[in-house]
Amino acid sequence: MNEKKKGTIGILTGGGDVPGLNPAIRAVTIRALREGYKVIGIRRGWAGLVDLVREKDADNSNNYQTLTEEVVNKAGRTGGTFLHTSRTNPARARFDRIPEHLRDKYNNEVNDVTEEVLKNLDFLGIDYLIPIGGDDTLSYAVRMYQEGVKVVAIPKTMDNDVPGTDYCIGFSTCVTRTIELSNSLRTVAGSHERLMVLEVFGRYAGFTAMLPTMAGAAHRCVIPEYKFNIERLAELLMLDRKFNPSHYSVVLVSEGAMFEGGEMVFKDKTTDAFGHAKLGGIGDLVSERLKELTARHNNGRSVDTVTQKLGYLVRCGDPDAIDSIVPMAYGNLALDLILKNVHGRLVVLKNGRYDNIPVDIVTSTKKFVNVERFYNTDRLRPKFESFEMTPLFIMTSDSH
């Protein structure tokens, strides 16, 4: 397994899929091959490094593949990740996710199989590891770096909430899709003169609701960073409806948004490998309460709502222009660092400039919308002021 030229680079993608992952894999691979490296794609995120069997004749085709220009060029213009992905956390692997060949050694309800991951990286002869993911995937990348693995990380999440960077792969396409879908659904809301409630992703950070609203996709938005008053929201949306010639109004609701005095709304009690319960349902609850409250502002007659969870529609399909360009740059930045034998870094965009910072920022801080600066808590929408010298997407990694 140690046949190589300059060295061997491993790439993996973890967490949710977004458009832009395949262009990043393509950028890393093509540059690395031309610089004389061998490139291995780890399949299914960290799971591929847990499930691998360290035997010469074992079939590990489900756990990794050798990457070539032909392979990455074919996938490089498409969405998703051809390496596949998972929400595996090797530091907290549940017994039912432990591969058969390791169950004698790891038989607790929750197991730390980092030792196996390190041995598997050595078995594959990987000299540098490039994980592409959000704060969950990259938090384990920090662990790998602490264990001595030469890590150069790339931020990815359509929520755009990885700390230290103004931009994460997938965010621009998410905003683009949200605007497109909101504009398409307006014809329904307008035809029936209703309030429209659109639930979008965003567990802890409201960027995916804020930016489309700034761009005119909605009249109001509610975000995780500020617990909103539903009666105030109803009042504002009915005013928006009144002054709209087509008699409708639109609110974007982050999945992590919370009613004043309430908590997050969860789909069920199950959690993923990083301890996150599955969110879902706040949009429906907002819609129900709005319908109850609208009569106060409409001569005693309630107004119906249109409710839609945009969900996976905003993370599917091909990447937009920004999510084709930024991943290309991030991939090449990662190779620049490897060529200099620099590791333990996260490639970033800060104030419109590409850079790199210590990867452990992922576990040392969080990134949220700066409510005081960017969100009007009385009007329940973004502030449209003071954009001078802000970066492309307005709200930066230093704004908290």
Q: Find out whether 136 and 162 touch, Cβ atoms under 8 Å.
A: no
User: 242 burial class (0-12, 13-18, 19+ CB within 10 angstroms)?
Assistant: exposed
Class level of CATH domain 173-314+370-382:
alpha beta
Where the chain has pLDDT below 70, the residues are 1-4, 267-280, 397-400
User: Does domain 8-169+317-364 fall into CATH 3.40.50.450?
Assistant: yes
Closest CA to 341 of 155, 153, 152, 141: 152
- The β-bridge partners of 162 are none
Which pTM was predicted? 0.93
- Residue with token string 């969080």: 366
The residues that are catalytic are 159
Q: Same CATH topology for 8-169+317-364 and 173-314+370-382?
A: yes
Question: Residue 276 has what pLDDT?
Answer: 60
**What are the sequence ranges of the domains in the chain?**
8-169+317-364, 173-314+370-382
Please tell me the predicted confidence (pLDDT) of residue 221.
98
C-alpha 152: how far from chain center: 18
Interval 21-66: pLDDT, tens: 999 999 999 999 999 999 999 999 999 999 999 998 999 999 999 9
Q: Which residues pair with 39 in a beta bridge?
A: 9
User: What are residue 107's DSSP bridge partners?
Assistant: none
